[in-house]
Amino acid sequence: MTSSLASQLYQMRNVDRIISTERAQKIKASFLFDGRQAADMDNQTIFDIGRDGLEELRKTNHKFDVYASTLFSEAVKDLDRVLQTKDENRKLDESIRSFLFLLAPHFLTKPAGKAIEWLIRRFRIQEFNARDILAAILPYHETKAFLTLLTIITFDTQDMGIFGFLVTQRKARRLLDRATLMAQCARDRSLMAFIFNSVFKAITSGFGYPGLHSFYVVVMTQYIGQLLVIDDGTVQFVLPYVLDGLNHESKDAHIAAYMVLGSLATRITFTQDALEKGLCAVATNPIDIQAMSMCLTQLLQSQASVADPAMSARCLRLLAKHEAFPRELCDIAKSFDIELVMRVFVGALVRNVNSDERILALLSTFVPIIPASSVTILCECVVRESVSVTLDSGSMDALLQAIDLIRLRYSQQLEDVIGAAANSIGARSDLTKAQIEDVHKMLYN
């Protein structure tokens, strides 16, 4: 019964489309021409224009080849989609959606305009595929081409809640500037969700391009920046998109995610658990080690207000997989003041050096190249951990190796730190004489 009712409703909508078509015989929707001028052109003329556009697009990207036998084939010249079945139209919509995503990087070119003209004439995409059109061309919202296409789009009633503001824009024949778009995003999170879902649908389908990633980053960072208060709901809304970006194989998607995460980190204070998850997510399968290193640095540096920002052994094991990471971090330290980051990272290395040989290997790689400004931090962390392990009678094999490695390169700095630590320990009244002697023996051995 339900499927029968749905079928009847579908047919009724198509009848409405047919009536609409009959009323519009004297004026045709068009991207390239005036409505009355377009009405004087027959389907064959528009088909030839569209096919010519496709042939030019095929020269720039062979992925357009497949559409020569589908959307731009002789077989569909007389197709009327209102007479197609629901399943046939679903398949047609999928093909149109993919084509529009593929076309998006070329939207402002003449060949793209020709191809769009055919899709409008034959498949009435301005009526049946309004959301797909917007998903593909919204990055061009400040252009005249966007406004031209917007003027012929027909929005379904259920979409007016999200896109109603665009109707106002086109009535006034105003370009959709960034400020207007962002103000609407602030008022209506569903518009933001549409934008983000469209971006990741394109990326997942293999249709990502630099302009799309740039658009995503600008919109997301401005959205975060313009909010007076970022509550838990906002964080829960934004983070899944960041994680999606980190899971993609696209370098641009990763860098976009890093930038958005960095922007979010400057506005909120993460819990230690959330910070740890963020660090591990960034360190897992990075495509650009330099960008990953900058992101990790910004994450830790922006969280100075966290009582005790830390890095887990799991995160260190992930970083140990990336041979270039220690040098990238050191290069950052040479150019920027990242003392907090170095203390967190070095402290984590020393604290966990006994737990995993991969962490010892990471520390061994890091020690020879550490910037001079961070040598004292390294020595302090080693001595502090040595004292802690000695007093707790813990395992020290790997830590002793680390101490020897540091002593070979930075003997004077290490001796200075050891001296200060030993004097401090000697002054402690809560330790027995034997404990103090054990610490001194370990430090000066």
pLDDT along the chain (445 residues), means of 10: 46 47 67 92 96 98 97 93 91 97 98 98 96 97 97 93 93 94 95 95 92 95 92 90 90 92 91 88 94 94 72 94 95 91 90 88 92 89 77 67 86 83 66 63 63
Q: What is the pLDDT of residue 355?
A: 85
Q: What is the pLDDT of residue 426?
A: 65
User: Which among 147, 73, 63, 66 has a CA at the least distance from the CA of 106?
Assistant: 63
Q: What is the pLDDT of residue 154?
A: 94
Q: What is the pLDDT of residue 19?
A: 45
Q: What is the pLDDT of residue 126?
A: 97
Long-range contacts at 185-193 (CB < 8 A, ≥ 24 apart): 185/219, 185/223, 186/223, 186/226, 186/227, 188/161, 188/162, 189/237, 190/161, 190/162, 191/162, 192/219, 192/223, 192/237, 193/237
- Give the tokens for residue 308: 């005790």
Residue 233 · residue 192 · CB < 8 Å? no
Q: Determine the Cα–Cα distance for residues 43 and 244; give it in Å rounded to an integer.
A: 43
What DSSP character marks residue 124?
A: -
Q: What is the model's pTM? A: 0.82
Residue located via tokens 């106002």: 168
* 272 alpha-carbon distance from chain centroid: 22
Q: Determine the Cα–Cα distance for residues 422 and 382; give it in Å rounded to an integer.
A: 13
Q: What is the pLDDT of residue 283?
A: 96
